Amino acid sequence: MSNQVIEDCPKCTKKLIGVIEVSSAMVGGIKLVVMKETPDRNWILCDSCNQTICKSCCVVPDSGCCDKCFSKLQTASNLP
């Protein structure tokens, strides 16, 4: 099973390609779900606002957040 993204980056209009492949299995009565991106995947889906954006338009794509949400999280984590 996979989720194909068929759209363009809202910031730079670059074509978004690649998928996240999802597979599952039962191991010892526990259901495991594995999500793996294809090597050509060039986009992220922001964990906070659900915006899809290309990795090139994101300062820290491994954060799982778009720049706006990443900045908010950084600011919130620096509060006393």
Mean pLDDT is lowest, of 10-24, 45-59, 66-80, for 66-80
Cα–Cα distance measured from residue 34 to residue 20, given in angstroms and rounded to the nearest whole number = 10
Dig out the tokens for 16 from the structure: 């978004």
As given in the structure block, the two tokens for residue 70 are 């990443």
How many CB atoms sit inside 10 A of residue 54's CB? 20
pLDDT at 20: 92
Q: What is the tally of structural domains in the chain?
A: 1
Range of the domain at 10: 2-77
Contact at 8 Å (CB) between 75 and 68?
A: no
Q: What's the predicted TM-score (pTM) here?
A: 0.74
Output the pLDDT for position 7: 86
Contact between 55 and 39 under an 8 Å Cβ cutoff? The reply is: no
- For residues 64 and 80, give the distance between their C-alpha atoms in angstroms, rounded to a whole number: 24
